[in-house]
Structure 1
Amino acid sequence: MNGILCINKPANMTSFDVCAKIKRQFKVKVGHTGTLDPMATGVMVVVLGNHTKLVPYLTSNKKTYRATCRLGIKTDTGDVWGKVIEEAAVSTMTEKKIQGVLDQFLGTTSQTPPMVSAIKVDGKKLYEYAREGKTIEVKSRTITIDYIQLTSLQENEFDFEVSVSAGTYIRTLCEDIGERLNTVATMSSLNRTKSGSVTLDMCQTLQEAMEKPHWHQPLPLLKEIRQIEVDDPTFIYHGKRYHATMEEPLICFVYQNQPIAIYKKENETTYKSERGLW
């Protein structure tokens, strides 16, 4: 069995838990295209069978979130489920003041990943160091924020929507926003509303997917990669190079409405097989 499921991940479950449930249900190899924190909800693309080979190409560089930022407290995890390590006064906030600060984050900037992330340093994940009480020096990463908009404001807490490049940590963004507002802050909710071309309205609940799955075809989800249909895929099965002058770094060959291989640009006129999908 091969398939792609778009899940609206529930809170209180890890991404691994979601995949494990689906694996038990369908008894096949399972993977996913992007981890969500246990308390986070929203878009999670789960791939089954041979479609797990598509994971690197379904993993989009653009993601959209709705988040809540709580002002006045800072925790050891960057979210409200961690231990409070600092408290600070919060001055009067207005929508104009907050949006003015949010606008400062637009564009390309650098961000230091939190110690609770799954990034590996010397073969070990950062959160594993954190559990041991160790702090490791982490290099900052380049991120891009294309859109950030305040959506509501309550006392000492506000909601916002943000579109970011992959690898952006919203909990860290909340902390940085707090600093610019001359206080401290932490993330109190997170919902992924879009990942690449997959939107929340395309997703099923986990229970729905288990009972009556809606299988998504791969080609629409691969639309960010140029697709070339072939009548005879023999040269692809033999791993031969493809000669063409194109700008795209990757191309996806399609045979009988199914992706069969990803080719990567080798030079100005040649593409080399990177991964067979059959």
Structure 2
Amino acid sequence: MAGDAVRLLSLSGLFPIYKPKGPTSAQVLNQLKGQLLKEAGLKEYVKKRKQTLKIGHGGTLDSSASGVLVVGIGEGTKMLSSMLTGSKKYTTVAELGKATDTLDASGAVTAEKPYDHVTKEDLEKVLPSFTGEILQIPPLFSALKKDGKRLSCLVREGAEVEAKPARPVTVHQLTLTDFQPPFFTLDVECGGGFYVRSLVRDIGEALSSCASVKELIRTKQGPFTLDEHALKEEKWNISSIAQALQDSGHLLPAQPGAKRLKTE
């Protein structure tokens, strides 16, 4: 086996990449995997559930969103569940007075309501009610599944789909950073299973109007930040990823079975 192939197949751990707006998280992951296999001179095969290269991501980012996507490679794929449940940070630009079926700008407009009555003070006054442990109804257009099929796929196929029941989610921090009607910008820090699109919908309703997401950027996932750690496409190569895995080792909790250094 050639040197690059040996290096690629020995990579193990978690590292973050930059997902651009447009493709799905799965498409970005497939592109990354394809580039790595090509560089190593390997072909993809799946035999008895065994893949040439074990790779996965730790939490879907909407196709219309951009930002940090944490990738697990090799044994690192077993650590991805911690990314799903861990803390995340987002910056979102929302638009008052417009509701869509997807709860963001990619969907069809389903309602338009007046928003002239909404002030910056009104917005700041409702935010505490969306902070802490809250109940949230997930969007119909989401990666959640019914009978093994994604809700978003079922909706697009014209199937009758009921909204999932409200479920508990956690918002650690919620800050209004800009208000230029009809647009407002929020910084959100939340736990797993949280949907910024649902948050914006609910804020719009709380203000006796409606609202949808115009832009969404994930700025942090777990210990990885967009500015400091996320690898852009030009660095989706074996050497850059090996370096990223080495650099991120101290950011992650020790893996089960790993020996801990004794400290006084």
TM-score (norm 2): 0.81
1:24 aligned residue: 34
Aligned-partner Cα distance in 1 for 2:222–2:172: 14
Q: Which has the higher helix share?
A: 2
RCO comparison, higher one (Cα < 8 Å, 6+): 2
Contact in 2 for aligned 1:6/1:44 (Cα 8 Å): yes
- Structure 2 Cα separation of the partners of residues 212 and 101 of structure 1: 48
- After TM superposition, give the deviation of residue 219 of structure 1 in Å: 4.1
What letter is aligned with 1:170?
A: V
> Is 1:57 aligned to 2:87, yes or no?
no
Cα distance in 2 for partners of 1:53, 1:107 equals 29
Stretches of structure 2 lacking an aligned partner (at least 5 in a row): 1-8, 38-52
Q: What SS does structure 1 have at the residue aligned with 2:102?
A: coil
Aligned-partner residue type, residue 24 of structure 1: G
- State the superposition RMSD in angstroms: 2.0
Residue 253 of structure 1 corresponds to 257
Aligned mates of 1:139, 1:59 — CA distance in 2: 20
After the TM superposition, which of the residue ranges 134-143 and 169-178 deviates more from structure 2?
Answer: 134-143
CA shift, 1:137, in A, is 4.1
8 A contact 1:60–1:196 mirrored in 2 = no
After alignment, is 175-184 or 138-147 more displaced? 138-147
SS in 2 for 1:98: helix
Structure 1 contact 10–206 (Cα < 8 Å) conserved: no
C-alpha spacing 1:189/1:128, structure 2 compared with 1 (3 Å): same
Alignment of 1:58-97 (within 5 A): 58-97=83-122
Question: Which residue does the alignment assign to 2:140?
Answer: 115
Distance 1:43 1:172, change over 3 A: same
Going from structure 1 to structure 2, the CA distance change for 1:178 and 1:36 (only over 3 Å counts) comes to: same
Report the CA distance shift for 1:154/1:139 in structure 2 as closer, same or farther (over 3 A): same
Which of 140, 143, 147 is 2:169 aligned to? 143
Counterpart of 1:254 in structure 2: which amino acid?
A
The percent identity for this pair of structures is: 34
- Residue 69 of structure 1, CA deviation: 1.0
**What's the secondary structure of 1:160's corresponding residue?**
strand
TM-score (norm 1): 0.77
Q: Could you tell me which amino acid in structure 2 is paired with residue 182 of structure 1?
A: S
Paired amino acid for 1:122: D
Aligned in 2, Cα 1:58/1:90: closer, same or farther, shift over 3 Å?
closer
Aligned-pair CA distance for 1:211:
7.8
Segments of structure 1 that go 5 or more residues without pairing to the other structure are: 228-250, 258-278
Q: 1:58 to 1:135 in 2, by over 3 A?
A: closer
The alignment covers a number of residue pairs equal to: 231
1: CA distance between counterparts of 2:106 and 2:130?
25
